[in-house]
Amino acid sequence: MSAAVRILDSAHAREARSLLYQAYLYEPTFAYLFESARPGYERRLRATVRALVSQHFAQQQPAIGLLLEDRLIAVALIAPPQRRLAITESWLWRLRMLLYAGLGSTRRYIDYQRTLLASLPPGPFHVLPLIGVHPQYQGQQYGEQLLQAVHEWCVEDKQSQGLVIDTGNPHYLDYFREQGYEELGQIAIGPVLEHVFFHAATRE
């Protein structure tokens, strides 16, 4: 069943936080950044996702979701080219992170974002800070539908050359290639090898 595509706002923040927390709970990159082997990992991850989503909507940055019978089942937060570091450079976001996720996790996440952005070639690209499909709906083509909606949205920005996404999960490498992504390179995030992919904006 095809889901309805919606532009999201702060009214969807609570659902988005819950969905993204579940989507990233077992991701290798986030497990390293927020120390999954140390007690309190789930609390730190939940706090991070809450801070990122709250700041994203507070700054009125774009987000796209899929709704199935009014239930949010997939979401993508989008950072336009000119605002890639807007969230992590915010003192309010950093304060929230320090209070709830701790100094070490905050530093690792900021370093991760800066390393990622420094690895990109020159040019205006959209970036996906967070994207996820609810575990209950994975493997049912909703990821493909969400990515297609994001691609179409990015094409509307005539200044954008395309979309960048990264993953430290080997399970997704072939998946992104099948969706038309080209691998730009790899970066080391602690023990995790992060793969950076690019999908060009195709305009007629």
Question: Can you give the pLDDT at residue 15?
Answer: 95
**Among candidate residues 76, 79, 54, the one with its CA nearest the CA of residue 7:** 76
Write the DSSP string, 17-61: HHHHHHHHTT-HHHHHHTTTTSTTHHHHHHHHHHHHHHHHHHTT-
Calpha distance 88→2 (Å, rounded): 34
In sequence order, what are the beta bridge partners of 187?
A: 194
Percentage above 70 pLDDT, the chain? 90
Q: Indicate if the pLDDT at residue 3 is higher than 60.
A: yes
- Check the CA dihedral 94-37-46-62 and report its sign: positive
Q: List the helix and strand counts (H, then E) for the chain.
A: 7, 7
User: Which tokens hold the place of 56?
Assistant: 């994203």
Name the DSSP class of 136. G
Region 51-74: what's the mean pLDDT? 91
Helices assigned H by DSSP within 59-141: 91-100, 103-118
Calpha distance 80→77 (Å, rounded): 10
Question: Can you give the pLDDT at residue 80?
Answer: 83
Calpha distance 103→95 (Å, rounded): 10
In this predicted structure, which of 23-37, 78-92, 145-159, 183-197 has the lowest mean pLDDT? Answer: 78-92
Region 38-65: what's the mean pLDDT? 91
Residue 157: φ, ψ to 5°: -85, 105
Question: Can you give the pLDDT at residue 98?
Answer: 65
- Name the pLDDT band for 174 (thresholds 50, 70, 90): very high
Region 33-39: what's the mean pLDDT? 93
Question: Can you give the pLDDT at residue 87?
Answer: 47
Residue 2: φ, ψ to 5°: -75, 140
pLDDT tens for residues 88-146? 556 556 666 766 777 888 888 888 888 888 887 777 888 888 999 999 999 899 999 99
Per domain, the residue ranges of the chain are: 4-200
Calpha distance 82→156 (Å, rounded): 15
Q: What's the one-letter identity of residue 130?
A: L
Region 25-35: what's the mean pLDDT? 94
In this predicted structure, which of 8-12, 58-62, 100-104, 184-188 has the lowest mean pLDDT? Answer: 100-104
What CATH architecture is 4-200?
3-Layer(aba) Sandwich (3.40)
Per the prediction, the chain carries an average pLDDT of 87
pLDDT tens for residues 139-173? 899 999 999 999 998 888 888 888 999 999 999 99
Q: With beta carbons less than 8 A apart as the criterion, state whether 104 and 142 touch.
A: no
Residue 84: φ, ψ to 5°: -65, -40
Question: Can you give the pLDDT at residue 86?
Answer: 47
